[in-house]
Amino acid sequence: MNAILSPADVDAIWLTLKLALTVTVLLLLLGTPLAWWLAHSRARWRGAVNALVALPLILPPTVLGFYLLVAMGPNGPLGRLTSEIGLGALPFTFAGLVIGSLIYSLPFVVQPIRDAFIAIGPRPLEVAATLGARPIDAFFSVVFPLARPGFLTATVLGFAHTVGEFGVVLMIGGNIPNETRVVAIQIYDHVEALEYTQAHWLAGGLLAFSFIVLLALHTLNDRQARR
Amino acid sequence: MPKTLRSLCAALLLLIAPFATGGEITVAVASNFIKPIEALAPAFSEATGHRVRLSTGSTGKFYAQIQRGAPFDVFLSADEARPARLEDEGFAVQGSRFIYAIGRLVLWQAETNRDIRPDVLRIADGGRVAVANPVTAPYGTAAAAAIENLGLSATLASRLVQGENIGQTFQFVATGNAAFGFVAWSQVSQNGALIRGSGWLVPADLHPPIRQAATLLSRSKDKPAARDFMVFLKSETARQIIRQHGYDTE
């Protein structure tokens, strides 16, 4: 019998984890200010930004992937920009997947954080300000602890959703080992090649992973709520 | 009121009359054959009165779906191996399989009026080259063999990108994301002439032939419309349409 996971399978798993980690960290850094703005802004186009953020939830990944392929290609607006600054075209590269995943997983990170900020309301910040805390200090010592369940949900969902990404990668990835061939693509290839045993191992692994991640999230959030 | 009802019934009858004579079949078609099948289906309906529903996708997916009872009557594969396996496994009628089309491969780029030959791939900084997945897509297998036989494997190793199927491979080149691609001659030609971009028809002896087999699925072995379709596909009318779309026939 063959080994359960081939070296190519292991490569795909590592690449997927690397992608999900990169994307989650970037999304937390970029998504937190955005979520803050969405929670507190009175701007008229806030509704439009909210809608834009939610768009990847309902767009088929193939639509997103196709637009990204066209936009990031050498003749697209994004592709021209990246060529200009010496990065070259992004499709078929790890950087391209990161950008695609940032957009694809954006609502999963921004929305829980935004909702947590809204739930906290302006009151705790006002109190902190009265007590002499500067805004940055108030954010990390007051808002962040209160919004922790939101951040936890955002982190877990952003990571898990990127791990499960398929359509966008299929459209812009080009199936290159160690660069763009993530687990979901590897499973697809196994199925296409009639290698159902290998497909089962990877797919089953992904299923178990997803379940454990969500179970852990709910357990943690429950414990937090009871505190 | 009864009068209105009667005329309504008459109108309905008129609507369905053109279709009432024939049966309906669902054909699973490999994605490289989309264009010819869209020309073949109306010709078949006109000749026999049967209607055709088309489902296009990749051969590997169809194979897995047919094994699990997908509601198709006829399977037009992109290769010969999977119809053969379906027959051996009892999902397709033993011996019904035949080669309906032989695909041709073309080295292609999206810009028109370029003099294109394999040497363009030797230029070191010549950009990415798209091929269909060599393991799962027959056109990818053929492209890999052609690259090998042209002595380009080492040159291209780091520049290849894989499309999931030949349609996506074409898309990679058409959107400018790959400079060149090995695509199906049927995608870029009409009546034997190139109709978009620039291309070099890969000589057929540089790769194993892309023999595409059709097979009648077991669940439809007694379905007249399905049998008629298999017969039609072998007819000279059908073969002519298939050749017009850039395939050879046996």
DSSP B74-96: EEE-SSSHHHHHHHHTTSB-TT-
pLDDT at position B59 is 86
Stretches where chain A sits below pLDDT 70 are 1-3, 227
Residue with more model confidence, B90 or A191:
B90
Q: Does A188 touch chain B (CB under 8 A)?
A: yes
Of A75, A175, A191, the CB nearest to B176: A75
Check whether residue B133 and residue B192 sit in a common domain. Answer: yes
Homologous superfamily, domain A7-226? MetI-like (1.10.3720.10)
Return the H-helix or E-strand segment holding B200.
Answer: strand B198-201
CB atoms within 10 A of CB B223: 18
Rounded alpha-carbon distances, angstroms, from residue B126 to B175, B180, B181: 16, 9, 12
Which tens digit of pLDDT belongs to each residue from B105-116? 999 999 998 888
pLDDT tens per residue, range B160-170: 999 988 889 99
Answer yes or no: do B239 and B195 share one domain: no
What's the first-to-final CA gap in chain B, in angstroms? 61
CA dihedral B169, B170, B175, B178 (to 10 degrees): 50
* ipTM of the predicted assembly exceeds 0.90: no
Q: Which of A176, A192, A196 to mutate to test the interface with B (most CBs of B within 10 A)?
A: A192
* Each residue's pLDDT tens digit, B114-161: 888 888 888 877 889 999 999 888 999 999 999 999 999 999 988 999
Predicted confidence (pLDDT) per residue in B45-68, tens digit: 999 999 999 998 888 888 988 988
In-domain check, residue B239: yes
* Claim to verify: residue B61 and residue B177 sit in the same structural domain: no
Q: Which of B175, B19, B52 is nearest to A92 (CA)?
A: B175
Q: How many C-beta atoms lie closer than 10 Å to residue A63's C-beta?
A: 15
Whether B134 contacts B197, CB under 8 Å: no
Are B72 and B120 within one domain? no
What pLDDT, on a 0 to 100 scale, did the predictor assign at position B19?
A: 47
Distance from CA of B19 to the nearest CA of A (A): 35
Domain check: are B136 and B184 in the same one?
yes
- Clarify whether residues B113 and B192 are in a common domain: yes
* Test mutation, B165, B175, B180, chain A, max A CBs within 10 A: B175
With CA atoms as reference, report the closest residue to B216 among B204, B207, B208, B224.
B224
Residue B14: the pLDDT is: 52
Enumerate the domain spans of chain A.
Answer: 7-226
Answer yes or no: is B249 within a domain.
no
Q: Please indicate, yes or no, whether residues B92 and B37 belong to a single structural domain of this protein.
A: yes
CATH code: domain of residue B75: 3.40.190.10
Average pLDDT, chain B: 90
Residues B95 and B146 in one domain: no
Residue B120 and residue B163 in one domain: yes
Report the 3 state secondary structure along A54-99: HHHHHCCHHHHHHHHHHHHCCCCHHHHHHHHCCCCCCCCCHHHHHH
Per-residue pLDDT at A3: 66
Domain total of chain B: 2
- Per-residue pLDDT tens for B169-218? 999 999 999 999 999 999 999 998 999 999 999 999 999 999 999 999 99
Residue with the bigger pLDDT between B22 and B97: it is B97
Query: What pLDDT, on a 0 to 100 scale, did the predictor assign at position A83?
Result: 85
The answer on pLDDT for B11 being more than 80 is no
> 């296009």: which residue's tokens?
B56
Q: What is the reported pLDDT for A12? A: 94
pLDDT tens-place string over residues B227-249: 999 999 999 999 999 999 999 99
Contacts of B16 (CB under 8 A, 6+ apart): none
Q: Report d(CA B40, CA B38) in Å as an integer.
A: 6
Q: Which domain holds residue B229?
A: 2-102+210-244
Residue B220 gets which letter from DSSP? Answer: G
Is B135 within 8 Å of A193 when comparing Cβ atoms?
yes
Are B52 and B79 in the same domain?
Answer: yes
- The answer to whether residue B22 scores a pLDDT higher than 80 is no
